[in-house]
Amino acid sequence: MVSDIRHYSILHGLRPIFIGVAAVIWILFSVTPGFSEQQPLHHELEVEILHHAKMLRGTDTIHLPKGMKALRIVLRPGVKILAVEGADYLIQNSVLNLNAGIAEASPATVKVYYEGIFDDSFEAEPFSTDNPGQGVRATITRDAAFFLGGSGWYPLVLDDVTETFRVSVTAPKGIYAVMEGRLETHVDNAGHSLSVWSVERPSGPLALFAGRYLIQERMHNNIRIATYFFPANATLSERYLTASARHISRYEDLHGPYPFTKFAVVENFFPTGYGFPSFTLLGSRVLRLPFIPETSLRHEVAHCWWGNGVFVDPAEGNWSEGLTTYVADYLSKEELSADEARAYRLRTLEKYALVASGENDFALSGFRSRYNPASQAIGYGKAMFVFHMMRQEIGDGPFWAAFREIYAERLHKSTGWRHFMDAFARHGGLSRHRVKRFYDQWITRPGALQLAMESPQVVHGTDTAAVSGTLIQKDPRFAVNVPVEVTGGSVSRRETVSLVDETVRFRIPLPESPRIVAADPDFDLFRLLHPEEIPATVNAVKGSDRLVAVIAKGTPAPWVEIFQGLLTGLNQGSIPIWQESRFNAEDTHGKDVLFFGMPQLEKGRTLLSGLGDGTMVSADAFQVGEQISSRNADTLFAVFKKKQGLVAVFLPQRGTAVETVLDTARKITHYGRYGRLSFKGSINIGKGVGNAAGSPLIMNLENE
């Protein structure tokens, strides 16, 4: 939910990467030469935030490099240029062209005075978080302000020139500004606050945020760690300071020294999960979730190395979300146990199969940022698997050594997938053909491995037995090493089978009678799961392209609007809502169905009968197993598989307050991997997943 960086504002030139002896070490891709060193253009930027008027008023004193007299800048559309000093100017196509006169030995200084209204609309509690930030670029409220990089809150220079900044932000007393760079001061005087920041190496257009914050901080190995929280969440500060320090130490050990002088956790007034160089911006409700310090915060800290330390070259696709997902979200599971890591890989494959496969699929090279469930499943999930598969290919030592090398050589440089492929090739001893094939099939084209296993057989020898069979793949074909495991009564044996063409035969001996054979038993390959491997979940509803939304007869009128919001959160906001009477009359064969409320007519009740998994349904009660029950919950959500497709129900109990139902409906989308949910007072009190039917890649040889 909370794991996007500001990809849209990082556009960097390419820099060369040192390879070593060309006769021995292979270079997969050519690299563009670097740009020449030059004197920086310096901004002395003074802005005042007028919260009551939703206005920002600014003065940018621009010190031009020696010999530079012409400059092109742009501001947010609608921002007024009040005056320009030190240069003639002309506005053409929204670009302010400045001319400071004839070139002289001394550098020129230009002042630009401007003001503008910043009032993008936002939802404080949206149903859907599939488009992080809701497309808001810049907005000012009574006690806070939000300006993304590239939103035009200060003059953006269009010329190719190095820039440095000193930014002074004046606001009402108690409101402090936060941005990347080094803090010089936060001070209150005469009814106003002043925040001053210096930025010597901007990562791109600067972002700026302000709020009525209580600031707490500590030093950790010469790094200033701080929290900027609103008073209502100030008690959470200690947890976030401690977790931030721990995560920084973890990644310094794994990748190399932390690249900034500070790390700050900053609270936002609407839901976001942005990572910026040296800080993260998290929404108020997100901060209060108990698991965030160990999950999403870790992800954002990792971005300080990947995405905000080593920059993304957007021309090749955004690799940073998949990499931070791997070293944060996934690695945290691996640190717990092998079973937790396996379960995470399975959930990642489930999400891809449900929301991204087929017509929603696209190549990783086309991923820029998350904007819907499919883009997240690919840009985060598939990319994570690419790194996992390469780790399986070359081993732990070479894999982590490649990361350390890239970080050391590419810090603050625009970096693409090709640089990772080069490093993996060097450290893993891979041939040019092998790593290029890996890159071509996983990065530059869409799709996933579609794997099947043809009836294996047990072949008995004099002293041993063996299992022989055939692995099959559908188009598009991949060159992969498939782990195949044979298990007997007391021993098992796993071998890697190279699958390049449509089929390959395998034969695996075992010193006792084999009982089970399984292909890719631990979900180490990025493959399209078989339907039998996927349980019914919230994500299955989100990925359905044949969903019928039905509001049960007798449902209170205020709940209809909530149902529409629930559908929006489930990526189904465009489908119509049927009354139960229409559902009763329509031919719905082959449709997936989501009921809001308990069906009252025969067709709906019949559909909910015989669901299995210990489900009990009556006019006044609903129960799935022991945990999910209307006896102790005021709202339930459950998804089931039946022969004709999915059947799902969202069941608020009679007498539940409308606000409670609304708050619960907003949360359903965040439980994508679950298929059974119960809530009390909008707090989750039970969750679970129904059983999958099995897998055609796991076969019981004793039954064959």
- pLDDT averaged over the chain? 88
Distance CA 704, CA 700 (A): 7
Question: What average pLDDT score do residues 189-208 get?
Answer: 93
10 Å Cβ neighbour count for 227? 24
Calculate ∠ Cα 638-641-642, nearest 5°.
125
Mean pLDDT for the stretch of residues 434-448: 96
* Average of per-residue pLDDT across 397-401: 98
Domain 538-688 has CATH 3.30.379: yes
**Which band of pLDDT confidence, cut at 50, 70 and 90, is reported for residue 136?**
confident
Task: Determine the Cα–Cα distance for residues 660 and 652; give it in Å rounded to an integer.
Answer: 9
Q: Is the pLDDT of residue 695 over 60?
A: yes
Mean pLDDT of 68-72: 90
Q: What is the DSSP string of 177-221?
A: EE-SSEEEEEEEETTEEEEEEEESS--SSPPEEEESPEEEEEEET
Beta bridge partners of 310: 306
- Residue ranges of the domains in the chain? 4-18+24-32+311-442, 40-212, 451-533, 538-688
Q: How far apart are CA 429 and CA 425, in angstroms?
A: 6
* pLDDT given at position 703: 67
Q: Does domain 40-212 match CATH 3.40.50.300?
A: no
pLDDT of residue 7: 32
Q: Which pLDDT band holds residue 598 (cuts at 50, 70, 90)? A: confident
Say if residues 552 and 617 touch (Cβ distance below 8 Å).
no
Higher pLDDT residue, 391 or 34?
391
Verify cis geometry, omega within 30 degrees of 0, for the bond prior to 476: yes
Is residue 15's pLDDT more than 50?
no
| Secondary structure letter of residue 97 according to DSSP | E
Task: Please give the single-letter amino acid code of residue 246.
Answer: R
Contacts of 296 (CB under 8 A, 6+ apart): 1, 2, 3, 273, 282, 286
How many other C-beta atoms are found inside a 10 Å radius of the C-beta of residue 172?
18
517 pLDDT above the threshold of 70:
yes
> How does pLDDT run across 402-426, given as a tens digit for each residue?
999 999 999 999 999 999 999 999 9
| Domain 40-212 and domain 451-533 have a common topology | yes
Give the pLDDT confidence of 608-632 residue by residue, as tens digits: 776 666 676 666 667 776 677 777 8
Residue 690 DSSP code? P
Give, in words, the CATH class of 451-533: mainly beta
Least confident of 1-15, 272-286, 629-643, 674-688: 1-15
* 92-123 pLDDT, tens digit each: 888 999 998 754 556 789 999 999 999 888 67
Mean pLDDT of 176-197: 96
What is the pLDDT confidence band of residue 197, given thresholds at 50, 70 and 90? very high
Give the pLDDT band of residue 30 (cuts 50, 70, 90). very low
Mean pLDDT of all residues in 306-329: 95
Q: What are phi and psi of 452, to 5 degrees?
A: -140, 160
> Quick one: which of 427, 317, 424, 421 has its CA closest to 30?
421
Q: Which CATH class is domain 4-18+24-32+311-442?
A: mainly alpha
Q: Please tell me the predicted confidence (pLDDT) of residue 29.
A: 34
Q: Say what the pLDDT of residue 36 is.
A: 37
Quick one: pLDDT at residue 67? 84
**Among 6-20, 225-239, 385-399, the least confident range:** 6-20
Question: How far is 508 from 346, CA to CA, in rounded Å?
Answer: 25
Greater confidence (138 vs 39) lies with: 138
Q: Which of 32, 4, 5, 37 has its CA nearest to residue 419?
A: 32
Q: Can you tell me the distance from the alpha carbon of 238 to that of 227, in angstroms, rounded to the nearest whole number?
A: 9
DSSP-assigned states of every residue in 256-323? -S--SSEEEEEEESS--EEEETTEEEEEHHHHHSTTGGGTHHHHHHHHTTEETTEEE-GGG---HHHH
What one-character-per-residue DSSP string does 25-84 give? S---S--PPPPPP-PPEEEEEEEEEEGGGTEEEEEEEEEPPTT--EEEEE--TT-EEEEE
506-525 mean pLDDT: 94
- The CA–CA distances, whole Å, from 144 to 135, 197, 266 equal 18, 18, 12
Q: Are 393 and 430 in contact (CB under 8 A)?
A: yes
Of the ranges 13-27, 43-57, 74-88, 375-389, which one carries the lowest mean pLDDT score? 13-27
Mind listing the pLDDT tens digit for each residue in 647-660? 898 988 888 889 99
The position carrying tokens 């901080």 is 217
In this predicted structure, the answer to whether residue 153 has a pLDDT above a threshold of 60 is yes
Q: Cα dihedral angle (357, 361, 363, 366), rounded to 10 degrees?
A: -150
| 19/301: higher pLDDT | 301
Higher pLDDT, 94 or 14: 94
- Kindly state the tokens that stand for 348: 């990642």
User: Which pLDDT tens digit goes with each residue over 486-499?
Assistant: 999 889 999 999 99
Tell me the C-alpha distance between 5 and 379, whole Å: 12
The residue among 460 and 394 whose pLDDT is bigger is: 394
